């Protein structure tokens, strides 16, 4: 029963990113099952899953085709190591990932989470130079307010003070460029792009020969609050990487698998990185799986005789887990079978239709989205963009009121985050957006007072 579960929860659990003092005083919802695009709690209440769990269940929950693939794989083997052994599903999936990745990305290295996929890209980029005798290129350039996961390596290229600040002294040094965030930039979109690229070029010039790579979230920074970049910024970063001969790592952990309207955000600006990091939606949100995909050029720098020490000494027990790979293949099949990418334009248009209306509401500073990757930023004053105090928890209270209306979304600070599953119908998306609109119109003024 819910009561019994809560007793154990109170006694034994510690939740991620959560102030446990608040949690222990709260009455949390406990999810028991999923049903298509709905989550169902232990009391039988149903909620539209407006954020694809944590931006990963791209086709929804209990998807027959993925369920069947996982069950089929269970009938063969759940897991076997990739240390010294090939693994059927991991091989099959690597071929599929190379097919859908931007041109030139051919080699797949598996891991288990978004953070590790970035960690691996950083370590590979670092070792790439050393394997060629260049020991000076040891630094990375990243974006302020970046989020690349929570391992020490990925935090080292992260920029969110609230999450990462306390660990600073454990981290390696990274150079930062201001997040090119159009809404809060004092100037035009063009000036915002130019500012970011000029800062980046100055770092590349001043540290010539010392930069191993540039790490970016493409088009939009998710965890920092859906910070949408100026158009062309990513392309500009690619041009700088090429001009100064450094490696480009694009973190598609959040943006990948259809969320921006393309399979990968990179495609929107025809960018071909040296590394692409994938996780979250890769397995349809079913199992922990991640991949770092890179070029033959990078791969070849790791080939050598034993005494050359060029091997990439990195791996995890569950690297390339067979169940995860089977789920991922089934998810990619579904993208094809349901023509998901072609269906996205209508869904994105629906989101924009609502965003236009939501922007007009009181206390809404901005309603922005790249594809279905969206955020609604709440402000005290629309004109000056003055922020609500963090302690007021305005967006948090608002999303709880949406929950009462049967919609599960999340907030990041003062931003309500939207990440509907790419497989959701236009009709359900419409219903979800109408709940959001009504809640902001009807509940927010009371919350703000
Ligand atoms: N990179 C980006 C852009 C992310 O948004 C996230 C998670 O939100 C990560 C990396 C970390 O992924 P994971 O939580 O699977 O480690």
- CA atoms of 271 and 216, how far apart (whole Å): 12
Whose CA is closest to atom 12 on ligand 1?
114
Determine the pLDDT at residue 391.
Answer: 87
Probe target for ligand 1 pocket from 56, 110, 149, with the most ligand atoms within 8 Å of CB: 149
Whose CA is closest to atom 13 on ligand 1?
114
Quote the tokens at residue 96: 């599929």
Q: What is the separation of C-alpha 374 from the centre of its chain, rounded to a whole number of angstroms?
A: 12
Confidence of residue 442 (pLDDT cuts 50, 70, 90): very high
Please state the rounded mean pLDDT for residues 289-314: 97
Question: Is ligand 1 within 6 A of the CB of residue 148?
Answer: yes
Annotated binding residues for substrate: 147, 280, 315, 410
Distance 114 CA to ligand 1 centre (A): 4
Whose CA is closest to atom 1 on ligand 1?
148
Contact 411, 332 (CB under 8 A): no
Distance 295 CA to ligand 1 centre (A): 22
Classified as helix, coil or strand, 16 is: coil
Please state the rounded mean pLDDT for residues 139-157: 98
Can you tell me which atom of ligand 1 is nearest the CA of 290?
15
- CA atoms of 222 and 285, how far apart (whole Å): 17
Determine the pLDDT at residue 437.
Answer: 98
What residue spans of 77-188 are helical by DSSP H?
Answer: 88-100, 114-131, 152-156, 161-164
Question: Is ligand 1 within 6 A of the CB of residue 253?
Answer: yes
Question: Is ligand 1 within 6 A of the CB of residue 226?
Answer: no
Whether the complex's predicted ipTM is more than 0.90 is answered with yes
Distance 334 CA to ligand 1 centre (A): 23
Question: Is ligand 1 within 6 A of the CB of residue 222?
Answer: yes
Quote the tokens at residue 416: 């309500």
Contact 265, 252 (CB under 8 A): yes
Determine the pLDDT at residue 83.
Answer: 95
Please state the rounded mean pLDDT for residues 228-250: 98
Distance 442 CA to ligand 1 centre (A): 33
Class at the top of the CATH hierarchy for domain 68-337: alpha beta
pLDDT at 65 over 90: yes
Whose CA is closest to atom 10 on ligand 1?
148
One DSSP character per residue, 21-48 reads: HHHHHS----EEEEEBTEEEETT--EEE
Annotated binding residues for pyridoxal 5'-phosphate: 114-115, 251, 316-317
Can you tell me which atom of ligand 1 is nearest the CA of 254?
5
| Percentage of the residues of the chain whose pLDDT score is greater than 90 | 98
Q: What is the model's pTM?
A: 0.98
Confidence of residue 390 (pLDDT cuts 50, 70, 90): confident
Determine the pLDDT at residue 298.
Answer: 98
The topology under which CATH files domain 2-59+339-448 is 3.90.1150
- CA atoms of 79 and 73, how far apart (whole Å): 9
pLDDT at 343 over 90: yes
pLDDT at 27 over 90: no
Please state the domain extents for the chain: 2-59+339-448, 68-337
Helices then strands, counting H and E runs in the chain, come out as 16, 18
Determine the pLDDT at residue 436.
Answer: 98
Determine the pLDDT at residue 449.
Answer: 87
In tens, the pLDDT along 353-380 reads: 999 999 999 999 999 999 999 999 999 9
Distance 377 CA to ligand 1 centre (A): 21
pLDDT at 45 over 90: yes
Mean pLDDT for the chain overall: 97
């Amino acid at each position: 029963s819910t009561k019994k579960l809560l007793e154990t929860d109170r006694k034994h659990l510690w939740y991620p990113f959560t102030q446990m003092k608040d949690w222990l005083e709260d009455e949390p919802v406990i999810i028991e099952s999923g049903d298509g695009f709905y989550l169902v709690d232990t009391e039988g209440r149903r909620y539209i899953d407006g954020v694809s769990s944590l931006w990963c269940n791209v086709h929804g929950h209990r998807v027959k085709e993925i369920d069947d693939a996982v069950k089929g794989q269970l009938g063969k083997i759940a897991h076997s190591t990739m240390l010294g052994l090939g693994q059927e599903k991991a091989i099959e999936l690597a071929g599929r990932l190379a097919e859908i990745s931007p041109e030139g990305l051919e080699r797949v290295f598996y891991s288990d989470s978004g953070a590790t996929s970035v960690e691996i890209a950083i370590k590979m980029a670092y070792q790439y130079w050393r394997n060629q005798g260049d020991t000076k290129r040891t630094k990375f350039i990243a974006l302020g307010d970046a989020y690349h996961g929570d391992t020490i390596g990925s935090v080292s290229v992260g920029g969110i003070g609230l999450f990462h600040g306390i660990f600073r002294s454990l981290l390696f040094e990274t150079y930062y460029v201001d997040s090119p965030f159009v809404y809060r930039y004092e100037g035009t979109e063009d000036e915002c792009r130019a500012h970011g690229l000029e800062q980046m070029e100055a770092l590349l010039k001043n540290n010539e020969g010392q930069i191993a790579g540039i790490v970016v979230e493409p088009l939009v920074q998710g965890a920092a609050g859906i910070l949408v970049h100026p158009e062309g910024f990513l392309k500009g970063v690619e041009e700088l990487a090429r001009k100064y001969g450094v490696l480009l790592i694009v973190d598609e952990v959040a943006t990948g698998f259809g969320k921006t309207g393309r399979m990968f955000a990179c495609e929107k600006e025809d960018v071909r990185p040296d590394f692409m990091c994938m996780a979250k939606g890769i397995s349809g949100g079913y199992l922990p799986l991640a991949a770092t995909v890179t070029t033959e050029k990078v791969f070849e720098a790791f080939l050598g005789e034993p005494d050359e020490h060029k091997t990439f000494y990195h791996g995890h027990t569950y690297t390339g887990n067979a169940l995860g790979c089977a789920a991922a293949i089934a998810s990619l099949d579904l993208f094809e079978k349901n023509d998901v990418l072609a269906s996205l334009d209508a869904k994105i248009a629906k989101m924009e239709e609502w965003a236009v209306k939501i922007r007009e509401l009181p206390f809404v500073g901005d309603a922005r989205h790249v594809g279905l990757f969206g955020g609604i930023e709440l402000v005290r004053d629309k004109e000056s963009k003055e922020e609500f105090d963090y302690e007021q928890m305005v967006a948090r209270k608002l999303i709880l009121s949406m929950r009462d209306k049967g919609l599960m979304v999340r907030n990041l600070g003062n931003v309500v985050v939207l990440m509907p599953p790419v497989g959701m119908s236009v009709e359900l998306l419409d219903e979800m957006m109408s709940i959001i609109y009504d809640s902001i119109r009807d509940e927010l003024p009371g919350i703000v007072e």
